[in-house]
Structure 1
Amino acid sequence: MQNKKSYRPNVAAIILSSKYPDKCEFFVAHRSDIKNAWQFPQGGIDKGETPYEALHRELLEEIGCNDVEVLGEFPEWITYDFPKVARGKVYPFDGQTQKYFLVRLKEDAVIDLQAYDIPEFEEYEFVAYEHLFKKVTYFKRRVYRRVIDYFIEEGLI
């Protein structure tokens, strides 16, 4: 008998700097709990919460700022499995099913990684597309490329 996999509903934010469209830079952050793991902000969707509401709550919790303009939403949910070494260590799930949003920081937005008691991230950078996939953790690269390429094809980036 095969066990059915369980996936955590989740939102993820591809954040463009406030300099966009003059300069296209992507926000990536280094997780405080996993060495060398750089990623986009993301987090679970609470019961009764819409993905859009979860996006704004998670941004506030993870980067201390939800002062963003939503530019687009990926039309599908993307499901991925955690690497075997990580399964069951953080969450009792096999992976996540995610709704991706493309957002742009507003001009006067201020990022504060220390906004909450237990920071999700310890540092962040804005990187160009050509450096992004060298920076982010290996198992998220395929998904990130798919979503960003969609937003490029749609003329949103």
Structure 2
Amino acid sequence: MSPADDYPDHRPNVGVVLFHPDGRVWLGRRAGTDPPHNWQFPQGGVDPGEALEDAARRELHEETGVTSATLLGRTDGWIAYDFPALIAAELRRGWKGQKQVWFAFRFDGEEAEFDLAAHGEPEFDAWRWDYLAAAPGLIVPFKRAAYEQVARAFAPFAAPAPGQG
């Protein structure tokens, strides 16, 4: 079985951690989602035949407006999570969950480049720079283990959070 065959019941997806040059990361507040677990990184599906890095760049642009980004790294293999039972069947679209390859990019542009409505209905209604170590505590609980894996994988690119040393 090839890595592409891993998690056949999970939708292929990419995630993006966008690093500020100072090592903080971009987090978006999901539009229409109640706090406290409503902050996340850009992510989205992979179109048929689309290369994973191309999908990551497309999702980054669609959800944030950003095109000025340099690749820093990516995760090896898929990071998967299951949808909780509370997610309606029409939102699952037949999938058990999602499998993701994550990409780390450094933001090389000006902050005026951010446009949350770059492609129609915004995914996010606000954004901020924060520390990578904070991200797992800000995401919905069913994605937390995936975010913890991403935080470990991309820790070499991250600024330490205050008090982390």
* TM-score, normalised by the number of residues in structure 2: 0.80
- The size of the alignment, in residue pairs, is 148
Percent identity over paired residues:
32
CA offsets 1:50-97 (integer angstroms, 9 cap, x no match): 101101111111111122111001011111101211152423122101
**1 CA distance for matches of 2:137 and 2:10?**
27
Structure 1: stretches of 5+ with no match in the other structure = none
Q: Are the equivalent residues in 2 in contact too, given 1:28–1:136 (CA < 8 A)?
A: no
Secondary structure in 1 matching 2:73: strand
* Higher normalized helix content (fraction of residues): 2
Aligned to 2:42: 41
CA offsets 1:119-153 (integer angstroms, 9 cap, x no match): 1111111112343333222222221111221222x
Identify the match of residue 138 of structure 1 among 126, 136, 141. Answer: 141
1:79-118 → structure 2 map (5 Å cutoff) = 79-92=80-93, 93-108=95-110, 110-118=113-121
Taking only aligned residues, the RMSD between alpha carbons, in angstroms, comes to 2.0
Structure 2: stretches of 5+ with no match in the other structure = 1-6, 159-165
**1 CA distance for matches of 2:139 and 2:49?**
31
1:1-157 → structure 2 map (5 Å cutoff) = 6-17=9-20, 20=21, 23-36=22-35, 37-92=38-93, 93-108=95-110, 110-152=113-155, 155-157=156-158
In the TM superposition, residue 111 of structure 1 has moved relative to its aligned partner by 0.9
Q: Cα 1:80–1:133, aligned 2, differ >3 Å: closer, same or farther?
A: closer
Letter in 1 for 2:102: Y
